[in-house]
Amino acid sequence: MGKSNIPQAPRSRRPPRVQAASNLKVKIGLEVHCQLTSLKTKLFCSCSSDYRASEPNEKICQVCFGLPGTLPVVNAKAVEYATMIALALNCKVANRSLFYRKNYFYPDLPKGFQISQYDKAGGVPIASSGFVDVEGKRVRITRIQLEEDPGKLTYEGTIDKSSYSLVDYNRAGIALVEIVTEPDIEDAREAKMFLEKLRSLIESLGVSNGELDGAMRCDANISLAGGARVEVKNISSFKEVEKALNYETLRQKTFSGNATSETRHWDERRSITIALRSKEEEQDYRYFPEPDLQPVLIEPQQIETVRKAMPEVAHTKATRYEKDFGLSPQFARELAANKGLSSFFDECARLDHGYQEMAGLIVGELSGREHEVSPAEFVGLVQMIESGSITRAQAKEALREALRTGKPVREVVQLKKFSAVGDERAIAALIERVVAARPDALKEAGRDKKAFNYLIGQVLKEEPKAQPAVVARLLAQRLRGKQGKKT
């Protein structure tokens, strides 16, 4: 890592131009903090984890504050959930992992240290060495660790100008899973796609609800080839990640690789990153084993039990859709990524076999509105397409109209007098008329795809309700007949 043959842009005293370093390779590594929002209590005490609806500093106890005489106890369910995430991200789960103290002095930490995990100096995090595949690209997962959330600081105005900050410790001690990637991501768009996939994976496990404010947060390490590593903190939502990364990449490029190693804060309101402090080195945290907690032991057979009990995650579901229903990879992926759409598809698939047609119509037309039409009604519409009584375009229009007006789909089809011309003899007769008027095109159509398609177009012009596929089949038959072959 870090080595590169790419030459550095020449340094000059003149203000750098953006293009100067624009061909330098960007490397992005992400650290995602994900709250296990499905837990009832915090990571080391029995305080309620439902802090969002509470008044500040209401959900706290002596353990949250590490008062003398108190001892933390690990939430077993948190270990189970972290194991599920690790398995979903193809990680190796450690049979014995350790908690460490990460010491730093900041008002959001009531104890003066965060109980976390560590992968150096004898530390073992709960899982490591996984990967997530995003649109054909593999992003490696370095490690997954369990740790406690710090409290929440609220600043007056912006972080760099605020004269005071308010602290709420309700969040202190909430169970977090930190997911660290290798610097495999090359631009903001890839980062966004990775995070969306990660979120859908974790949500499909039922351990966290990424919709909740602050439930998933992201820090990003960005460096240009040869340049220093800059950490951007406090990106509060995935929507902001793309903006923050684009901003920071551009900022570093204008410095032609002269960026210094530092921690910067993403200021959402102003859409810029601002320098916070020079980056802490690991020794600044004085990591050491947490003396008040036993190692976390997970037997191999416990891991198997968790694996078997896990709900199907999105990518497994997508693979199943391709295999069992013959869906195209795109439809399979889009359905599987959306819980509402995929369960609607599952219900429809029990009623009929037009899987690919169903999937296309669901993905294309129903997103977010799948509860407004019943599976039976929807399957009825798909059957009309499959039997050739209406065209796919008509089906889409009928569905849109039904969603707009609230009328039953079948009624819309009748009202609009939708029908495909299903009578093949009528279409064959029409083809005869069309080709008779265009003998030259007919001669070409046997060997020239363009002429063939031209004739189909002419037939559809005369009869827009004919199914293109049916016209193509009959026209092909007609051509073969002409050549004296059997049809």
In the complex, the residues that contact Zn ion under the rule CB under 5 A are 45, 47, 61, 63-64
Q: What is the DSSP letter of 159?
A: T
Near Mn ion in 424-443, by CB under 5 A:
none
Residue 231 Cβ vs Mn ion, minimum distance, rounded to whole Å: 12
What does the alpha-carbon distance between residue 361 and residue 364 come to, in Å, rounded to a whole number? 5
Residue 45 Cβ vs Zn ion, minimum distance, rounded to whole Å: 3
For every residue of 26-64, DSSP letters joined together read EEEEEEEEEE-TT-SB-SSS-SBS--TTSPTT-S--HHH
Does 334 bind Mn ion (CB under 5 A)? Our answer is no
What does the alpha-carbon distance between residue 476 and residue 481 come to, in Å, rounded to a whole number? 9
**Using CB distances below 5 to 8 A depending on partner kind, what does residue 178 bind out of Mn ion, Zn ion, none?**
Mn ion
Contact of 143 with 119, CB cutoff 8 Å: yes
Q: Which residue has the tokens 């095109």?
A: 441
Q: Please give the angle made by the CA atoms of 138, 139 and 140, to the nearest 5 degrees.
A: 110
CA 168 distance to own-chain centroid: 30
Give the range of 136-144, 176-184, 231-239, 454-462 binding Mn ion by CB under 5 A. Answer: 176-184
Residue 64 Cβ vs Zn ion, minimum distance, rounded to whole Å: 4
* CB neighbour class for 237 (10 Å; exposed up to 12, middle 13-18, buried from 19): middle
Does 248 bind Mn ion (CB under 5 A)? Our answer is no
Give the range of 173-181, 291-299, 370-378, 394-402 binding Mn ion by CB under 5 A. Answer: 173-181
Residue 46 Cβ vs Zn ion, minimum distance, rounded to whole Å: 7
Which of 178, 184, 203, 370 is close enough to bind Mn ion by CB under 5 A? 178
Does 168 bind Mn ion (CB under 5 A)? Our answer is no
Residue 298 Cβ vs Mn ion, minimum distance, rounded to whole Å: 21
Closer residue to Zn ion (CB): 60 or 413? 60
The tokens describing 125, both together, are: 């995090």
**Using CB distances below 5 to 8 A depending on partner kind, what does residue 61 bind out of Mn ion, Zn ion, none?**
Zn ion
Give the range of 153-161, 177-185, 253-261, 277-285 binding Mn ion by CB under 5 A. Answer: 177-185
Closer residue to Mn ion (CB): 230 or 456? 230
- Number of residues binding to Mn ion, judged by CB under 5 A: 1
Q: Which of 323, 388, 389, 386 is nearest to 360 (CA)?
A: 386
**Using CB distances below 5 to 8 A depending on partner kind, what does residue 296 bind out of Mn ion, Zn ion, none?**
none
**Using CB distances below 5 to 8 A depending on partner kind, what does residue 476 bind out of Mn ion, Zn ion, none?**
none
Contact of 201 with 314, CB cutoff 8 Å: yes
The tokens describing 115, both together, are: 């109980």
* CB neighbour class for 153 (10 Å; exposed up to 12, middle 13-18, buried from 19): middle
Closer residue to Zn ion (CB): 110 or 226? 110
Residue 142 Cβ vs Mn ion, minimum distance, rounded to whole Å: 13
Pairing between strand 113-116 and 100-103? antiparallel
Contact of 428 with 474, CB cutoff 8 Å: yes
Which residue number has the CB closest to Mn ion? 178
**Using CB distances below 5 to 8 A depending on partner kind, what does residue 64 bind out of Mn ion, Zn ion, none?**
Zn ion
Residues of the shown chain interacting with Mn ion in the complex, contacts defined by CB under 5 A: 178
